[in-house]
C-alpha cells in the first residue's frame, strides 16, 4: 500500500488531468485481479468490480484522484516531482485505501454478502460540475445497481486511529457568486458625476454580513464570504466597475434557496440605492453532504466491532467545506467518514504545502472501508 501511495503522491495531477494516476490505478487493479472499466467523458474515472457469487447488496467504495495547484514543501522521499502540483488534500491516501480495502476483501471474497464496486473519481476539487456527476451520468451506480456508497476523507483535526462519523448534515453546499458592480468612471475629484462603484461594492460586502446575522436561523450553519474584490487602477480615478467573488455555504437545501434569494435582493437593493448597476452570476456548486441515519448507523456498528467503541467519534457539527461525494448520496444511501490523521506533533492542515499524513492511516483507512462494506451487506434488510 505504501508503494501505491508513494506512486500516486509523486506524480500528482490537477482536476481533469488525472492521466498517469488513472494508469496506476488500472495497473493496481490488474495486479489484484479486479476487472475495471472506464466511466465518464474526457479524462474518465474507473469502476472496479470485486464480484462474488452471492447476490446480496452492492456496496461502492469511492476515492477521489486529483491533486492541487500547490508547491509541495514536505521532506517526503516521494514528494511531488511536478512543480506546483501536490496531493495536499490526501486523495493519494484515499485511492490507496480503496485499493487496500479491495485487497482485504478479495482475500475473503467468500465472506462477501454481495459485489463491491470500487469508484475512482477525477476532478473532486473542481468545485462546480465536479467529477462525481459525470461518473453517475456514465452509469457508475448501475450494472450492477449500487445499494450503498461509502467514502472517507483524511482529517488532520482528528487523531490517528480515530474515525469520525455523523448523521445528517456533514459537509456544506458551496455556491459561487460573482458580482460585477458598475458605476461611472471619472476623476476622483468629481464623484457627483455618477455612481461610485468602489463605494457600492464596499457597501455590498458590508451588507452581505446581514445574511448570516439576520436572514438564516442562527442554529443553521451558514457562511457568506467575499474572497476577492478588485477595481480601479490608481488613487485619483474612480473605476467603472468593481468585481467581487465569493462563496455561500449552507447545509440545508431550503436554506440554500433562502440565501440565494436574500443575496440577490440585498445586492440589487444596495446597488439601486446608489444608482449603480450590478451583474450577478450565481452558480450552484456541490450539494450539501447529508449522511442518512440508517446506513450510517450500520457502518458505525461494523466499525465499533472492528476498531472498538473508543475509535469512533461522533462529529457534532458539519464542516463547511464541500465534497461531491454528496452527489452519490443524492442517489443511494451510504455514509461519508473522516479518517483521523492528526495528533502527532502539529499536523499541517489540508491544502497546506507541508501536509503529510502518517502512513499508518493507510491500513486503518483500508480496514475501515472493508469493514463498512461488509457491515452494510450484513446489516441489509
Q: Which stretch binds its own copies (CB under 8 A): 50-58, 143-151, 206-214, 335-343?
A: 206-214
> Exactly one of 76, 139, 305, 317 binds its own copies (CB under 8 A); which one?
317
Stretch that binds its own copies, among 27-35, 140-148, 316-324, 328-336 (CB under 8 A): 316-324
Residues with Cβ within 8 Å of 224's Cβ and at least 6 positions away in sequence, in order, are: 208, 209, 211, 212, 246, 247, 248, 249, 259, 263
292 binds its own copies (CB under 8 A): no
Site string for its own copies, 256-275 (x = CB under 8 A): ------x--xxxxxxxxxxx
**CB 170 → its own copies: shortest distance, Å?**
11
Question: Interaction with its own copies in 117-146: which residues (CB under 8 A)?
Answer: 127
Beta partners for residue 117, in sequence order: 49, 60
Cα 170 from Cα 145, distance rounded (Å):
25
Contact criterion met (CB below 8 Å) for 29 and 48: yes
Beta bridge partners of 380: none
Three-state DSSP class for residue 328: helix
Does residue 286 have an active-site annotation? yes
**Phi, psi (deg, nearest 5) at residue 16:** 85, 0
From the list 15-23, 34-42, 214-222, 300-308, the region that binds its own copies by CB under 8 A is 214-222
- In degrees and rounded to multiples of 5, residue 275 shows phi and psi of 75, 15
Residue that has been written with the C-alpha cell 464542516 in this structure: 319
Among candidate residues 286, 306, 323, 328, the one labeled active-site is 286
* Chosen residue from 138, 144, 292, 321 binding its own copies by CB under 8 A: 321
- Asked if 114 and 271 touch (Cβ cutoff 8 Å), the reply is no
User: Between residues 188 and 367, which has the closer beta carbon with respect to its own copies?
Assistant: 188
Active site (annotated) includes residue 328: no
The distance of closest approach from Cβ of residue 314 to its own copies in the complex, given in angstroms and rounded to an integer, is: 10
Spatial separation of the C-alpha atoms in residues 62 and 373, rounded to whole Å: 11
69 scored as a contact of its own copies (CB under 8 A): no
Contact pick of 16, 38, 191, 292 for its own copies (by CB under 8 A): 191
CB 367 within 8 A of CB 374: no
Among 71, 108, 225, 253, binds its own copies (CB under 8 A): 225
Catalytic residues: 286, 359
Amino acid at each position: 500500500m505504501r508503494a501505491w501511495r508513494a506512486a500516486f503522491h509523486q506524480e500528482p495531477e490537477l482536476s481533469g488531468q488525472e492521466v498517469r494516476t488513472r494508469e496506476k490505478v488500472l495497473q493496481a487493479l490488474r495486479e489484484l485481479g479486479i476487472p475495471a472499466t472506464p466511466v465518464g467523458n474526457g479524462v474518465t474515472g474507473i469502476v472496479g468490480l470485486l464480484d462474488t457469487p452471492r447476490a446480496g447488496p452492492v456496496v461502492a467504495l469511492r476515492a477521489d484522484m486529483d491533486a492541487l495547484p500547490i508547491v509541495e514543501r514536505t521532506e517526503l522521499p516521494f514528494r511531488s516531482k511536478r512543480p506546483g502540483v501536490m496531493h495536499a488534500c490526501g486523495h493519494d491516501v484515499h485511492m490507496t485505501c480503496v485499493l487496500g480495502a479491495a485487497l482485504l476483501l478479495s482475500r475473503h471474497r467468500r465472506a462477501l454478502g454481495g459485489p463491491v464496486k470500487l469508484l475512482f473519481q477525477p476532478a473532486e476539487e473542481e468545485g462546480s460540475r465536479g467529477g462525481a456527476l459525470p461518473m453517475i451520468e456514465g452509469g457508475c451506480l448501475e450494472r450492477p445497481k449500487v445499494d450503498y456508497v461509502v467514502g472517507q476523507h483524511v482529517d488532520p483535526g482528528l487523531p490517528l486511529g480515530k474515525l469520525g462519523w455523523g448523521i445528517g448534515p456533514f459537509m456544506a453546499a458551496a455556491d459561487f457568486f460573482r458580482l460585477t458592480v458598475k458605476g461611472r468612471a471619472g476623476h476622483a475629484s468629481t464623484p457627483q458625476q455618477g455612481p461610485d462603484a468602489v463605494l457600492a461594492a464596499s457597501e455590498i460586502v458590508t451588507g452581505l454580513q446581514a445574511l448570516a446575522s439576520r436572514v438564516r436561523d442562527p442554529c443553521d450553519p451558514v457562511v457568506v464570504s467575499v474572497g476577492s474584490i478588485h477595481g480601479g487602477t490608481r488613487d485619483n480615478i474612480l473605476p467603472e466597475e468593481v468585481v467581487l467573488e465569493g462563496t455561500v455555504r449552507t447545509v440545508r437545501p431550503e436554506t440554500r434557496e433562502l440565501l440565494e434569494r436574500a443575496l440577490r435582493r440585498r445586492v440589487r437593493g444596495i446597488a439601486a440605492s446608489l444608482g449603480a448597476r450590478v451583474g450577478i452570476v450565481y452558480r450552484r456548486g456541490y450539494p450539501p453532504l447529508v449522511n442518512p441515519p440508517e446506513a450510517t448507523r450500520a457502518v458505525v456498528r461494523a466499525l465499533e466491532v472492528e476498531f472498538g467503541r473508543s475509535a469512533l467519534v461522533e462529529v457534532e457539527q458539519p464542516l463547511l467545506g464541500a465534497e461531491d461525494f454528496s452527489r452519490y448520496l443524492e442517489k443511494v444511501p451510504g455514509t461519508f467518514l473522516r479518517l483521523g490523521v492528526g495528533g502527532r506533533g502539529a499536523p499541517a492542515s489540508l491544502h497546506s504545502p507541508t501536509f503529510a499524513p502518517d502512513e499508518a492511516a493507510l491500513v486503518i483507512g483500508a480496514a475501515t472501508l472493508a469493514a463498512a462494506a461488509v457491515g452494510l451487506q450484513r446489516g441489509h434488510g
